[in-house]
Structure 1
Amino acid sequence: MHYALNLRTFFYSHYFYLGLRFAAGLVGVTLITLQFAGLSTAMTVCIGALCTALMDMPSPLRHKFNEMSASVLLCSAVTLLISLCAPVHWLLMIMLVAISFLACMMVVYGKKSMPLQLATLFIMTMSMEHDMTARESFIHTGLFTLGAVAYLAYAMGISWILRHRIKQQVLAEALFELAAYIDIKADFYDTRYNLTEQFNKLVRHQSLLADRQQASRDLILRSHQNSKDAIVVQTHVCMLDLYELVLSTHTDYAQLRMHLADSPVLKTLHDLAYKAARDIESVAYDVTRKKASYPEISYEPELAAIEAELAALQRRVDEGKPAQEALAVLRAQRNKIRAIIKMIGELHQASQKAYDTTPFWVDADMGPFLSQQKYELRMILSHLRFDSPIFRFSLRVAMAISVGLAVASWLPYAAHSYWIVLTIVIILKPSFSMTKQRRSDRIVGTIIGCVITALIIKYLNYPAVILGFLILSTVATPTFIYVRYRYAAIAVSIMILLQMHLIAPGNHDLIVERLIDTFIGAAVATAFSFVLATWEYQTLPRLIREVLDVNLRYMQASFDLLQGKGKDDFAYRIERKRLMDSLAALSSALVRMLDEPARKQRAVEDINQFIVQNYLLVAHVAALRAILRRHVKELPTEPVNAMLRESHEQVMRTLAQALAPQAAGASPAAIATAPAHAPADGAGVPWSGWPLVQRRIRLLQADALKIIVHSEAIVRNVA
């Protein structure tokens, strides 16, 4: 369950704060306008505020201002254009289709442009019913712009006042998702769960976790100017270091289950992971409440049980029984878990201390860690080609809206055809998977919203009660739009239907008409989701190549760090972040593909394994870092670096072969079946860490070889 759906955290989440800010702004702008003008004027001003409010998301202040200003300018221009064209029906139809196409082309700018696209199409549909003179059109647009600018000023003021609070909330969300990730990891120790299914579940969640961590980076690392900001920066850094340690806990779970099947230590390991997740959640809870966090969970009983099991295994080894492998694996897990517990302690400490400065990168360029905001016309122009998925999506929406308008013109209540168009706009998304999910949520949400509205009008038809439900639904709409869209669809249906009831209380067919319009719009959107569709498998070769390309750079940075070539791990962190982003993009594509028709799915198992193997490389690097840190005092630098250099060369050759198999002499299959080169033993230099390092290097080399098999199979299956 999403953390924001838990009542314990709901009222402290940035989603609820957004809902309150959204509702207070809209209601406030409307009430102020009503003091000076009539209801019609107030509604126009309110819609202007609403379009700007759709862009009100957690963002750095400068980015927020740019995004909301773009909404004000673009939506005002669309309002004026559609209002001027409305009296000429054929011209209006042309403009509706053209604006729909251009609005959808804005998706080239990424996820943050989606609300702007929606705002543009929303005001287009709301303006198409107006039949005004040129003078009235300019006045109407002026009122719309007034509302938009008023909400912009209001939102920027509130966001500036709450700028640190929003950082805390976004950081807390990332911590909650990290805790959920560890919960999934905990189930690897539970023999009731299938390992393959758990791996798949873990990979899916890593995509979500990467998205939340990026949102945290964008807000926290972009500006950190005082001691309060330094606290969230330090907590954020600890969270990322903790995440890497969690990655390093990966082991051969099948072997672990086999060796320890009759031992209660598996449950102990599960309980330790579960406690760690709750401990991280406690930090997140305290961050949302603006409190310093202090550890309240004790791991001693579980750690003592593990030590007892290790002692028992050691006795079996001493007696000559075959328990060496189980002893080594459990001891390694014990060491990693202790490191994680220590890092969770540092996470608590990071929330307690007011730092004078931020970490070592205080003067570093943070650009590579942050999402870039670039709105250049050439990006749209570069996608004006038929093989561009965004161009095809834009054509699809334009055609669907054309059909929706044609169908609406045959209805006896064609004056409300905008609801059909609005339904098409909301449901039809760039990918088939998103369209499918949005269609289901929209239909179910509208039905429930209509039923609730009908009950309110029939049994609670009092102005004060209706106003109360109207405000409540206004708060709920933005609160749930990014958490559970179905809930948002219920709320927005109630909000709009109650507004219509207040404006035209005599329309008894209002709810039935809205239901019919929703079903028509959903049917049109569903039909056009297959028109000029871009299926996910078509993007797989590009995504696979991006992962391999980034992984090469990540491995270079990793081995440079392991060999102590840099003064810090800044470059390593950049490449790790890029690799996680590329893997998250591939994971998201896989999830979307699984929602597509079966005949459009390709190489599902190979993609799964490819993603898992790449994550395992990250886990092996993290484990090597942990091993070298643990043995730093007795580390024989030269022999270890020689071993790392040799391993580095082999892994780089392997990944390069996977990236460009035709360029190399050997075939992918030949390389993949070749045994991993055994690392040197350190030329006789005594060191207790040799077995651990050698084992990790063997695993690293073996998993790199497996990547070739799966990447080649994916490309072959989607060709």
Structure 2
Amino acid sequence: MHYALNPRTFLFSHYFYSGLRVAVGVIGLTLAVFAYSSLPVAMTVCIGALCTSLMDLPNPLRHKFNEMLASVLLCTAVTLIISLCAPVHWLLGVMLVLVSFLASMMVVYGRRTLPLQFAALFIMTLSMENELTVPQAFLHSALFLAGGLAYLAYAMLVAWFLRRRIKQQVLAEALFELARYIEIKADFYDMHTNLHAQFNKLVRQQIVLADKQQASRDLILRGTPGARDAVLIQVHYSMIDLYETILSTHTDYALLRRHFADTDVLNRLHELIRKAAHDLESIAFAVTRKRASYADVSYETEFQAIETVLQQLQTAHAHEDRLMPGMPDEAVIVLRTSYNKVREVVDMIGQLHLASQTAVAPLPVLPHADMTPFLTQQKYELGLLIASLNLRSSVFRFALRVAMAISVGLLVAEHLPYASHGYWIVLTIVIILKPSYSMTKQRRGDRLLGTTIGCALTALILHLVHAPLALLGFLFLATVAVPSFVYIKYRYTAIAASMQILLQINLMIPNSTGVIGERLLDTLIGAVIATAFSFVLPSWEYRALPRLIKSVLQANRRYIEATRDLLQSGGRDDLLYRLCRKRFMDCVAGLSATLVRMLDEPANKQYAVEELNLFIVENYLVVSHVAAIRLLLRRHAEGLPKESVDAILQQVSARVGNMLDQAQRLLDDPPPLQSEAAETKPLHDDVAGRIAGPEHLAWSGWQLLQRRCKMLQADADKIVARSAALGRELRVFRQRV
């Protein structure tokens, strides 16, 4: 369950704050205008504020202002154009299709423009019913503009006063998702879970975690940090370091299960890591409440139980000159290493508690460090839009789908036997029809169910409640809920949005309960049209797979090289390493998200699902191995034979880099199945063993480095073989499609 759906955390989340902020602004502005003017004027101002609120997101202040101002100006222009064309029926139809196309083309600038696209289409659908004279159209647009600008000023003022609070909430959300990530890691030690399924679950959570960590970076690291932000910066960096340590905890879970299935040690590890996840949740909850966090979780029971088992194994080794019968040395080493890493995770969570309490100079940000590469960069260049005006562009195809679907929706509305409202059908199409089939499918189900429930609840409220003030109270609650759940549970937003519009209609036109049934039928018609057009000029996810797979391999290689340079230099400036790691994980998350969306598409459009799953997991494991090597060298710094370790790192990184190059070649030009073994022959050269001498064996980290280098090369081997299989399946799939 999403953390914000828990009542304990929802009231402190930025989702609830956003909903409350929007409701107070929109409803408050409407009541203020209504006190000095007529209801139609107040409702026009209300719609202007409501459209602007769609862009009221937790962003840096400058970005928020630019995006909301763009929304105000764009939506005002759409309002004026549609209002002027409304009296001329054929011209209105042409402009509706044209505006739909152009608004949908804005998606080319990324998902951050999706709310702007929806705002433009939303006001388009509400304005299409207006039949105004030219002076009335300009007055109507001016009132809309006034509402939008008034809400913009209100939202910026609130955001300025709450700018640190928003940072706390976004940082806390990243901590909650990291705690969820740790909880998934704990289940690897549960004998009842399937390892392959658990890896897939972990990688899916990585998508969410990467997104939330990026949101935290964008708010906390942008600009010059002030003294009041010191604690937040400390917590953010401690969170990122903890994340890297958690990555390094990957081990040979199958080996542990094989040799320790009959003991209680795996259950203890499982419980220990779950406690760590709950401990991290307590830090996140404290951050949401603007409080320092203090540890209240005890790990001593698990520590003592695991250390007792390790002591028994050591005693058995001392007495018999070997470990327990049938218990290989390797299994015990893996167990002890896993336990030590989990203890390190626990220690770092303790450091997170301390980081949340008080600022300690100096800050972990390097002086004069340019953090721009770590932050989201949004560029709105006309050339990008023009370059996408062709059928090869998925955005262009989406814009055509929307325009055609709205055209059909308008035609259907004109020929319905009852007093239909075409804007409701069009609005349903706009809400449901999204750039990907997966998003469209999800929105369709949520919209149908949400509208049905919302209409039923509204009918019940209107039957029992007649006082306008009480109805206004329900309208306020619905207005709070709409933005609160739009990004975490859209079904709840669909319920609240239906109630919001129906209550507004009833307040303007009392006793208009008959419109509820019409809304349900219009929603069903719009959903059918949107579903049908989701198959028109579709952009199936498999088309993007070759590009995404190549980007993962390229980012993987850059990450390996950056790690080698960092470890060999011994420098403390790890910004390049962190940047390469971030870009690699972003690429893996992007491929994973594409795979998840593809699973919602028709079966005949799904390509190499199992191979892709394994490819993603194996690339993810490379990050785990690299993180483990970095922390290993830090933990065993005493007596480290630097020249020999540098030689190993150089040779292993070169070997892995060559494998990744080979993987890219095989993806483009896969060998026939019968020659695959020869083309992707694994390389098991033991570099560490070949370099090792007596002086190296005395170093405490030598065996661990040996083992981790072997695991890294083994997973690189698998990536090569997987790339060949993916290339071959993609070729066959293209021929079939």
So what's the TM-score if we normalise by structure 1? 0.98
On the 8 A contact 1:224/1:230 being kept in 2, the answer is: no
| CA 618–29 in structure 1, closer or farther in 2 if over 3 Å, else same | same
Between the aligned partners of 1:674 and 1:466, the Cα distance in structure 2 is 70
Name the residue aligned to 2:153: 153
Q: Is the 8 A contact 2:682 2:714 kept in 1?
A: no
Aligned counterpart, 1:673 = 681
**1:95-154, Cα deviation, whole Å (9 max, x unpaired):** 100110111111111111000000000000000110111111111100000000000000
Whether 1:302 aligns to 2:310 is no
Q: Structure 1 residue 306: deviation in Å?
A: 1.1
Q: Are the equivalent residues in 2 in contact too, given 1:672–1:709 (CA < 8 A)?
A: yes
* Cα offset, 1:565, TM superposition: 5.3
Query: Residues 182-581 of structure 1: matches in 2 within 5 Å?
Result: 182-318=182-318, 319=320, 320=322, 321-323=325-327, 324-413=329-418, 416-564=421-569, 566-581=571-586
The separation in 2 between residues aligned to 1:565 and 1:338, in whole angstroms, is 25
1:711 is aligned to 723
CA apart distance, 1:671: 5.1
> d(CA) in 2 for partners of 1:315 and 1:200?
38
Q: 1:689 aligns with which of 701, 704, 718?
A: 701
Structure 1 position 700 matched with structure 2 position 712: yes
**Residues 656 and 716 of structure 2 are in contact (CA less than 8 Å); yes or no, is this contact kept in structure 1?**
yes
Distance, in Å, in 1 between the alignment partners of 2:269 and 2:330 is 17
Checking the alignment, whether the CA contact within 8 Å between 1:316 and 1:322 is kept in structure 2 is no
Q: Is the 8 A contact 2:670 2:728 kept in 1?
A: no
Partners of 1:346 and 1:285 lie apart in 2 by: 16
Task: Rate the CA distance shift 1:145–1:664 in 2: closer, same or farther, 3 A.
Answer: closer
Residue type of the partner of 1:135? P
User: How many Å separate the matches in 1 of 2:133 and 2:86?
Assistant: 9
Percent of pairs with identical residues: 60
Letter in 2 for 1:33: V
Q: Distance in 1 between matches of 2:189 and 2:594?
A: 29
Cα offsets for 1:594-626 (capped at 9, x unmatched) = 111111111111111111011100000111111
**Of 354-363 and 688-697, the range deviating more from structure 2:** 354-363
What is the aligned partner in structure 1 of residue 601 from structure 2?
A: 596
Contact 1:63 1:373 in 2 (8 A): no
Matched, 1:128 2:128: yes
Q: CA deviation at 1:355?
A: 4.0
Distance (Å, rounded) in 2 between the aligned partners of 1:636 and 1:567 = 19
Whether the aligned pair in 2 keeps the contact of 1:293 and 1:351 (CA below 8 Å) is: yes
Q: For residues 670 and 361 of structure 1, what CA distance do their matches in structure 2 show? A: 48
Alpha-carbon shift at residue 415 of structure 1 (Å): 5.6
Whichever residue aligns with residue 730 of structure 2, its letter is V
Structure-to-structure mapping, 1:139-178, within 5 angstroms = 139-178=139-178
From 614, 619, 640, give the equivalent of 1:635: 640
Instruction: Give the distance between the partners of 2:202 and 2:678, measured in 1 at CA.
Output: 30
Shift in alpha-carbon separation, 1:79–1:659, aligned structure 2, 3 A = same
Residue 684 of structure 1 aligns with an amino acid whose one-letter code is P
SS at match of 1:676: coil
Q: Describe the SS at the equivalent of 2:466.
A: coil
Deviations 1:371-397 (A, max 9, x none): 002111111111111011111011001
**1:259 aligned partner, one-letter code:** H
SS where residue 638 of structure 2 aligns? helix
Please state whether the residue corresponding to 2:694 is helix, strand or coil. coil
Cα distance change on mapping 1:34 and 1:441 into 2, 3 Å: same
- For residues 253-310 of structure 1, the C-alpha deviation after alignment (integer angstroms, 9 at most, x for no partner) is 1111111011100100001110000110011011011111111112121111111111
Q: Is the CA contact 1:657–1:668 (under 8 Å) kept in the aligned structure 2? A: no
Measured in 1, the distance between the counterparts of 2:717 and 2:222 equals 38
Aligned-pair distance for 1:401? 0.3
CA distance in 2, matches of 1:560, 1:417: 62
> Following TM superposition, by how much is the alpha carbon of 1:656 offset from its aligned partner in structure 2, in angstroms?
1.2
Q: Compared with structure 1, are the counterparts of its residues 661 and 289 closer, same or farther at alpha carbon in structure 2 (3 Å cutoff)? A: same
CA–CA distance in structure 2, aligned partners of residues 406 and 137 of structure 1: 25
Check conservation: 2:30, 2:46, Cα contact below 8 A: yes
1:14 alignment counterpart = 14
Give secondary structure in 2 for the equivalent of 1:605.
helix
Q: What is the deviation of 1:478?
A: 0.5
For 2:383 and 2:494, the matched residues in 1 are separated by 35
Structure 1: 5+ residue stretches without partners: none
Measured in 2, the distance between the counterparts of 1:669 and 1:562 equals 34
The answer (yes or no) to whether the contact 2:26–2:151 under 8 Å persists in 1 is yes
Kindly provide the CA deviation profile for residues 469-516 of structure 1, in whole angstroms up to 9, marking residues without a partner as x: 111101011101111000010001011001111111233421000000
Does structure 2 conserve the Cα–Cα contact (< 8 Å) formed by 1:14 and 1:170?
Answer: yes
Please give the alpha-carbon distance, in whole angstroms, between the structure 2 residues aligned to 1:521 and 1:581: 36
Provide, for residues 344-390 of structure 1, a one-character-per-residue CA deviation record: whole Å limited to 9, x for no partner: 11111111112455324241111111100211111111111101111
CA contact (8 A) 1:560 1:566 kept: no
Tell me the CA shift for residue 32 of structure 1: 1.3
Work out whether residues 657 and 708 of structure 1, in 8 Å CA contact, stay in contact via their aligned partners in 2: yes
Whether the 8 Å contact between 1:224 and 1:233 is mirrored in structure 2 is: no
Taking a change above 3 Å as real, the CA distance of residues 447 and 380 of structure 1, as seen in their structure-2 partners, is same
Q: 1:496 to 1:66 in 2, by over 3 A?
A: same
Q: Post-superposition shift, 1:465?
A: 2.1
Do the aligned partners of 1:15 and 1:480 also contact (CA within 8 Å) in 2? Answer: yes
Partner Cα distance (1:540, 1:374) in 2: 25
Paired positions, count: 719
Distance 1:252 1:709 in 2: 20
The answer for unaligned runs of 5 or more in structure 2 is 732-737
Return the offset for 1:193.
Answer: 0.8
**Contact 1:227–1:355 (CA<8 Å) still a contact in 2?**
no
State how far apart, in whole Å, the 1-side matches of 2:539 and 2:730 are: 13
Amino acid corresponding to residue 439 of structure 1 in structure 2: R
CA distance in 1, matches of 2:33, 2:723: 61
| Alignment deviations for residues 231-261 of structure 1 (CA, whole Å, 9 cap, x no partner) | 1111011101101111111111111111101
Q: CA deviation at 1:413?
A: 4.6
Is this contact kept in 1: 2:420–2:522, CA < 8 A? no
Which residue of structure 1 aligns with residue 180 of structure 2? Answer: 180
Question: 1:684 Cα shift?
Answer: 3.0
Which of structure 1's runs of 4+ aligned residues deviate more than 6 A?
Answer: 662-668
Counterpart code for 1:680: A
Q: Is contact 2:670–2:724 with CA below 8 Å preserved after alignment?
A: no
What is the RMSD of the two structures over their aligned residues, measured on CA atoms?
1.5
Amino acid at match of 1:418: Y
Q: Is structure 2 residue 107 aligned with structure 1 residue 107? A: yes
Q: How far apart in 2 are the matches of 1:105 and 1:137?
A: 26
* 322-331 or 513-522, larger mean C-alpha shift: 322-331
Which of 613, 637, 640 pairs up with 1:608?
613
**One-letter code aligned to 1:441:** D
Any idea what SS the aligned residue of 1:298 has? coil
Q: Which amino acid aligns with 1:3?
A: Y
Relative distance call for 1:176 and 1:526 in structure 2 (3 A) is same
1:158-207 deviations in whole A, cap 9, x for unaligned? 00000000000000000000001111111111111111111111111110
Q: CA deviation at 1:669?
A: 4.2
